[in-house]
Structure formats: structure tokens, C-alpha cells
A and B are shown apart, each in its own frame.
Chain A
């Protein structure tokens, strides 16, 4: 589905990613772990075209996308849940969803499907999104990305600051999408959340992927967690 090959990227003169390669297959959850500053979020932004890729290639279903302008990327079927949710806070829940539906998806049918996944949002359609609880905001961030009917869903620390029931809901949705054949790329810091969702875990350090491990072989005591995440 997504193939990142040997990319370099960064902000101005500062290179954050160097020689990074990663494959994200369809119908699987690929989790990315690493310490702060390892380049996890920058990698997602590079895929989205929000950070310039200076070398290497990014391909979605074989189509090169690393030179596309950022606003052309989501139309190809990439849904993005940024770190810290980044909702349009002064807009209502319904308007945030409408933004998601602009570029792709099947209009009302997609909207209904997404609201069925998160019934709580349906009750809050007219509410300003900045007045939602943290969990509801995360639901909306995921819902907004799902409005694109993504082939690839990228989530940046979606469980950050959430209570266990919300984490369970996010996990349920992620696994359901995976079973529908969506490729999921998930940046996550919590070992328990990774082990509950991942099919493969990529460990990042110094701006590249150092190791990719199949999740079934991992336990919370695995040495990679200590080596790359420090837990």
C-alpha cells in the first residue's frame, strides 16, 4: 500500500529524517515507536506533503506522491489524525465532518457510516468542537479522517491523554478498519496499546527505522521497548 524508500526530510536546514524506509501493507496495523525526536510525527507529515521530502521516494499503491502539493495528497485516500487532534476548534462538529467530506468519500453515505461508528458525535453535531471533552475530540479527529474513506489511515498518538474506555473505542475502530482492508500507520507511545492493535511494530531512532518486528513475537518485556522507547 504505502512504501517509503530511503527518504530524507526536515525543517529548513534541520534534517529530521535520514535514510528512512518503511512499508505499510493493506489490512494491517503498522505501529511506529521511538523516543521523542526520533522523527515519528515528521515521517507522517512527510507522507502528507506537509514537510518537504528532499531525497528518496514515497509511493501509494505504486504511485509516487513525494512531490505532490500537500492539498493533493488526501484526495488519493490518505486520512490523517494529527498529534494533539488539531480540530477546527471554532467550527461545529458537523462542520469539521464537512471539511473531511469535501475531497473524497461518498457524501451523505460516508457521513452516516462515520457517525454510526461514533454515535456520541451525532448527538453533538451543532456543538463547537473546542467545547467537546478530550475523548470526544479524539473521536472527531478520527471521524474527520474517516470521512475521506481512506485506503491508508495515519494516526499520531491517538490515545494520548485518553481514559481507558476511549482507548478501547479507538482500538475497536482501528481494528475494524484493518479488517476492512485499510492500511493503518499508527504512531503510539503506549506499549499496551501497541500490543493490543499492532500487526507489525517499527522502531525508529535518529530519523530512520531501525527494526521492524512482527507484533505476535513481542511481549511487554521485549528488549526493543527498552532500546528504542526507554520503557
Chain B
């Protein structure tokens, strides 16, 4: 294969990573933006989404599409419910203290990971893609499912943007993000907003995981990379900026795809981490974040 098609393949692979990463990182960014909670358990919620997807798909007989569709609904909802319980049982009791919640979510990460290991086992397990369409390009064939993942991520991200910018729930979330105390003085139950945002963030991670699990397989340690990359994306994009998060996910995802294909995945991670260091030194508010007044 000559350079051009090879590059196209790399970019396509990068777009798929970027799509999954954008969904995961937007969840992490929302939680940090609104609640000021650094959720170290975000990767564990991602992993749990994949594991539940496998369980649901495995339990349902019939065509793979049915099991996958059920997983697409059940896994994000189940993970969101768990996250709401963590918010109520742990984070709220800590008064959303920024330092204490970091330690607490590290604890949640280990509990969820070990629970998955005990119940699910140490093996990686595949979930069948809902359809097997191969798109034949002149130079190579490409998975139709992977392109569907990109399209699904675009739709979900658009929906998140619409909810945040146009709906009453989004208005309330933004008010809480800007000034929680004043939001309460105008009748907003910020505790409910926090629980909802934490559930939404975790649900987005789980949704990303369900989408990725036909490509990547479910494994109880699969949450590490998405967590690290989400932090990288959220820092580069600018905390609290949805647009910045999505653009940074594209930048990191596509460049990782290209560098991985031409060089090595390790070099891709080194470069991404280096970029974070540069952003933190030269533009600590991120590419699209605003400096705190």
C-alpha cells in the first residue's frame, strides 16, 4: 500500500479513537466543570460499561444486534445509577471537597476494578458487532461498524451540546457550574444537579465503552488508558469547555492513530503527554478555556 492510502487508514483509525475518546472525555470534563471533582474512577466506569455490555450481550440469545442494542441501553443506565449512588453515598458526604474526592474516587476505582475481576474474571471477552458491513475502498476494505461508531459519537455529542445550551436542565447545570451558592439562592437544588451530572458523566463513559467493545474486547483493566487520555484531552481543551474537549479529542485521537500506524503507540502516548506538559506551561487554562477572573 502506498503512502496516501496508508495515511487515510491511519486517519480513519484515529477518528474512531477520537470519537470514543471525545465521549469519555466530555463525561470527565462535565463532572470537573460543574462539580470541581477530579473523578479518578472515570476509567472504572468506562470499564464497567464494557463489562456490563458483555454480560448483557452474552445473556441474550438471538442475533448479535439485539444483544448489542440491549447493552447500549442497559450499560450506560446501570453505570449512571451506580455513579449517582457514589455521589450520594460518598462525594456528597465529603462536601465535594476537591482533595478528599480525589482520594475517594481512587478508592471507588479499586473497588469497581476488583469487583469486576471477581465477578467477570481476568479474561478479555469479545462482544460481537451488531452488523458486519465492510466498506470496500479502492485501496483497502474498512469496517462499517467503526464508521458507525464515529457517527454515533457525533450524534451523542450534538445531543449533549443541545441539552447544555438549549434545555432547562442545561441552564440549571451551567448556573450551578458558574456559581453554586447563587444557584441555590435561586431555588436550584445543587445536590440533585451534582448527582445528575456525575451520573451523566459516568453514563457517557459507559456508552463510549459499549461502542468500543466490539472493536477492543472487555477487560477489567481496560479503564486505564481512557482515564489517562481523557485527562489529557480535558486539560488540553480547557476545563469546562465542551468545544475544546471535542477538538482536543480529535487532535489527540487522530494524531495517536497516525503516529501509532507509522511509528508506535508508545510514541503516540509520549507525544500526547508532552503536549499536555507544554499546554500546562504555556497555556494553563487550556486551548479553549478562559482564565479564571
A residues sitting closer than 8 Å to B (CB atoms) are: 48-50, 69-75, 80, 82, 86, 88-91, 95, 98-100, 102-104, 144, 148
Contact B185 A74 (CB under 8 A): yes
**Which residues of chain A are within 8 angstroms of B184 by Cβ–Cβ distance?**
48-50, 70-71
Query: Does B186 lie at the interface of the complex (its beta carbon under 8 Å from any beta carbon of A)?
Result: yes
Contact B187 A104 (CB under 8 A): yes
Classify the secondary structure of B's interface with A. Answer: helix
**Which residues of chain B are within 8 angstroms of A74 by Cβ–Cβ distance?**
185-187
Selected contact of B186 from candidates A49, A90, A99, CB within 8 Å? A99
Closest-CB distance, A120 to chain B (whole angstroms): 22
**Which residues of chain A are within 8 angstroms of B174 by Cβ–Cβ distance?**
88, 90-91, 95
Can you give 11 A-B contacts (C-beta < 8 A)?
A71-B188, A74-B185, A80-B185, A88-B183, A91-B171, A91-B178, A98-B168, A99-B171, A99-B183, A103-B186, A104-B187
Contact B178 A50 (CB under 8 A): no
Contact A89 B178 (CB under 8 A): yes
Give the contacts of B148-188 with A (CB-CB under 8 A).
Answer: 168, 171-172, 174-175, 178-179, 181-188
The complex places the Cα of A95 from the Cα of B179 at a distance, in Å, of 14
**Which residues of chain A are within 8 angstroms of B105 by Cβ–Cβ distance?**
none
**Which residues of chain A are within 8 angstroms of B123 by Cβ–Cβ distance?**
none
Contact B175 A88 (CB under 8 A): yes
Give the contacts of B182-218 with A (CB-CB under 8 A).
Answer: 182-190
Given known contacts A74-B186, A102-B187, what 8 new A-B pairs fall within 8 Å (CB)? Answer: A48-B185, A50-B184, A71-B187, A75-B187, A88-B175, A99-B188, A102-B188, A148-B186
Closest-CB distance, B176 to chain A (whole angstroms): 10
**Which residues of chain B are within 8 angstroms of A104 by Cβ–Cβ distance?**
187
The complex places the Cα of A82 from the Cα of B184 at a distance, in Å, of 12
The complex places the Cα of A103 from the Cα of B168 at a distance, in Å, of 12
Contact B185 A50 (CB under 8 A): yes
The complex places the Cα of A129 from the Cα of B80 at a distance, in Å, of 34
**Which residues of chain A are within 8 angstroms of B171 by Cβ–Cβ distance?**
91, 95, 98-99
**Which residues of chain A are within 8 angstroms of B178 by Cβ–Cβ distance?**
88-91
Contact A91 B189 (CB under 8 A): no
By beta carbon, the residue of chain B nearest A48 is B185
Given A91-B174, A99-B171, A102-B172 in contact, is the A70-B182 Cβ separation under 8 Å? no
By beta carbon, the residue of chain B nearest A129 is B178
**Which residues of chain B are within 8 angstroms of A69 by Cβ–Cβ distance?**
189
Given A95-B171, A98-B171 in contact, is the A86-B189 Cβ separation under 8 Å? no
The complex places the Cα of A66 from the Cα of B230 at a distance, in Å, of 43
The complex places the Cα of A195 from the Cα of B172 at a distance, in Å, of 38
Interface pairs A-B: 5 shortest CB-CB: A103-B187, A70-B184, A74-B187, A86-B182, A71-B189
The complex places the Cα of A50 from the Cα of B185 at a distance, in Å, of 8
**Which residues of chain B are within 8 angstroms of A90 by Cβ–Cβ distance?**
174, 178
Given A71-B187, A102-B187, A103-B187 in contact, is the A91-B175 Cβ separation under 8 Å? yes
Contact B182 A82 (CB under 8 A): yes
The complex places the Cα of A71 from the Cα of B178 at a distance, in Å, of 16
